[in-house]
Every structure is written in C-alpha cells, then in structure tokens.
Amino acid sequence: MSLSTLAAAAALAAQPAPVVPVTATQTPAATAALDATVPVTSGPLPSAPATPASSEAAPSSSAPVAPAAGTDVAAPSPAAPDPAAPATAAGGNTPPPPPVQGNEIVVSGHSKPPPQDPMQAVNLKSYEVVQKVDDKFVAPLARGYQKALPSPVRAGLRHFLSNLTEPVVALNFLLQLKPGKAAETVGRFAINSTIGVGGLIDVAKAKPFNLPYRRNGLAWTLGYYGVGPGPYLFLPLVGPTSLRDVIGLTIDRALLPAAVGKPLTNPAYVVASNVIKSLDDRVQTDAELRQMRESDDPYGSYRKAYLAQRQAEIDHLRGRDKKPVPAPVAPAPATVAPPAAEPTPAPVAAAVPSPPPAPTFVSNPVVQPLPEKR
C-alpha cells in the first residue's frame, strides 16, 4: 500500500461520525422508547446539539433522549386516569382529602323519655303553662293572701281543711289492716272537732294527746298493696302527680261530700276551700319552688322530688324506712389517758329516722289537700 493511501485513510478516520436524525419514520419500538423518556411540554421543543455516535456517549435506557433540532415529535396520548387517585380541580390544585372520622360515633335522632314519664312531651308543655300562670297570677295572689291574713288566721284555716280529711285517713288505715292508727285518727278528729273549735286549733297534736296528723288515702292503700304509680303526670291545678294518685285521691275527695252532703257539696264552699288551700300551699312551698326553678333541670327536679316523696310515704307505711347510719365515733387511745381538766365527751346518740317530708306541688292538689308542716 502506498503512502498516499494510508494518509487518506487516517484523515477519514479523524473526521467525526455523521449524526443520524430521529424522524417520525422510526420503528415503533424506538417511538415507544422516545415517548416514555421525552417529557412533553406546552411550548416548543428545545434543540440540542448532536452527540457523537460512540459507545461511551450512548444514553442509558433510563436517561431522557433529546431530539435533534428540527425534528417533529408527536405528543403521546394521555394516559387513563387512575380511579384511586384524587380528583384534580380546574385550576390544577388537588383538593384536600375529606376529614377522617376515625373512631367517632355519630348518633342522630330523638332521645326516648324515661320509663316513669312516657308522656314527657305533653307534661313539659303543661309545666311551661303552669309556670307562666303561677308567675302572673298564683304567686302574686299568694303573696297578697299572706300579707292580708296574719299567720294565726291562715293556720286556723289550714287546720280546719285538714281536719275534714281525717275520716278518709282513718278508713284507709283500716283497709291497710292498721286498726291502731285508725283509732288514733278517729280520736284526733273527735278532739279537734270539739275542743279545737271545729278543727281551727290542732289541739290533738300537743300534750297530753300527742296525736300528730298522718296523711293517708286510697292512693296510699293501692301502693301499700303493690300497685305501681303508673305514668308520671303534670296537670294544671294539680301539679306533679301520677295515674295512681289521680285515681285514688279523686275518690278520696269525693267520699266525704257524698257521705255528708251539704254544706260540703255546696259550690260556694268547694270553690272557696280550694282557693284558700291553693294559696296557703303556695305560701308554704315558696322556698322549695324557688330552689327547684334555679336548678339546671327544673322539670326533672319536680318529677324526681315528687316520685321520691311518694315512694318514701309508701315505704313508711310498709315499715321499710331507710334508717340513717350513725356517724362513727373515734375511740380514745388505750395507753394515753386524757387530761383531768378536759371534759369527757358525751356519748353520741343513734340517729332517729325522721318522718318523710311533705311533697312539693306547683299549685294546690285539687284531689287531696296537703298536711301542715311539722
């Protein structure tokens, strides 16, 4: 080989290899690889200088390949949306995910009334009406009654009306198989009706008789033999009561007028006695009513106090009073004697069960008057 041929071959080898442009007529495999590596933008594609066709400069399968200048590259078709991915807003921002509920329990609906008060919705309406009437009419009249009549006169009227219930009380003690209590009630009625000037003065409760007033009636007798109170009721002109008490006390109220007749059946006497009793009861229970109204649940306080009081009276008839536990007394140290100047503490007497308190009514119970407070 001549020297000229060798020189031509060396010059040819020193020249760079020609760049092969990427065109749209490439094979489907090359086009798919280009679609997977070339990012698509909204603007024109940038141009890149040609790269030498050497093995060292060849791009890897994961690196993006820049097309040559002037090359037309078709944009890839959009991929199908992922159903698991969150929806994108119109402005390109992804909306925040919904709050996670976690272990929260959402309960909706109306709560059920308590078992002892199935007519709670109706009773609440009656309670609201009674309170408005009491604020506007009953309470002002009761305060006027208290100012107009001195305390001895009001006490005499109260004793007179309570004395008229004694025959019914004695009858129910007989129905409860308590002849001793019935005999005491009859004696009390006889003493107050004679010495007590028709019951205006309660002579029987003082010495030497010591015969206190005891409340009793058909409702007590029914409860004594196991009849439940039934649904709780809050009635106008009656206040808190129950189905058993309404039936029993209504019969009690009608017994004596039916047996005696006039003047107990005279409309003037019936209206006057009920008005006086209502006003006197309102005066006597004013402090309790104020305390209940200031509670968080006034209606529930009325119901709880009434039902507890009635159950306490039934338990008292059955002899099931809850006796209070006496307060414990700390024993004196055995080794150290108390100083001589220090007085010896008196022994602590056992607590005596107190009689059940008088029930609280919003207004006068028409079917049964309240006893006096002892």
Task: Transcribe 219-249 into DSSP letters.
Answer: HHHHHHTT----SEEEETTTEEEEHHHHHHH
Give the Cβ contact number of residue 80 at 10 Å: 6
Give mean pLDDT, residues 102-115.
Answer: 63
Query: What pLDDT does 61 receive?
Result: 44
Range name among 56-70, 200-214, 220-234, 328-342 with the lowest pLDDT average: 56-70
Calpha distance 156→200 (Å, rounded): 4
Calpha distance 59→55 (Å, rounded): 9
Calpha distance 96→115 (Å, rounded): 47
Q: Which residue from 145, 186, 132, 146 is spatially nearest to 163, judged by alpha carbons?
A: 186
Strand (E) positions, 58-146? none
Peptide bond just before 208 cis, omega within 30 deg:
yes
% the chain with pLDDT above 70: 56
Query: What pLDDT does 62 receive?
Result: 45
- What residues have CB less than 8 Å from 367, skipping those under 6 apart? 238, 245, 246, 249, 250, 252, 253
* pTM check: above 0.85: no
Query: What pLDDT does 213 receive?
Result: 93
- Write down the mean pLDDT value for the chain: 73
149 pLDDT band (50/70/90 cuts)? very high
Calpha distance 217→245 (Å, rounded): 9
Q: Is the pLDDT of residue 58 over 50?
A: no
Peptide bond just before 263 cis, omega within 30 deg:
yes
Q: Is the pLDDT of residue 9 over 90?
A: no
Q: Which one-letter DSSP state was computed for residue 48? A: B
Query: What pLDDT does 360 receive?
Result: 42
Give mean pLDDT, residues 298-318.
Answer: 92
Measure CA of the first residue to CA of the last residue in the chain; give whole Å.
Answer: 147
Query: What pLDDT does 156 receive?
Result: 94
Q: What are phi and psi of 107, to 5 degrees?
A: -115, 130
Output 177 or 323, whichever has higher pLDDT. 177
Query: What pLDDT does 14 receive?
Result: 57
Query: Largest Cα–Cα distance in the chain?
Result: 168
164 and 256 in contact (C-beta within 8 Å)?
yes
Query: What pLDDT does 191 receive?
Result: 96
Calpha distance 28→39 (Å, rounded): 18
361 and 370 in contact (C-beta within 8 Å)?
yes
Q: What's at 100, amino acid-wise?
A: V
Q: Residue 82 has which token pair?
A: 């992922």
Query: What pLDDT does 18 receive?
Result: 56
Calpha distance 84→100 (Å, rounded): 17
pLDDT in tens, 173-225: 999 999 999 999 999 999 999 999 999 999 999 989 999 999 999 999 999 99
Give mean pLDDT, residues 315-322.
Answer: 83
pLDDT in tens, 64-88: 444 444 444 444 555 555 555 444 4
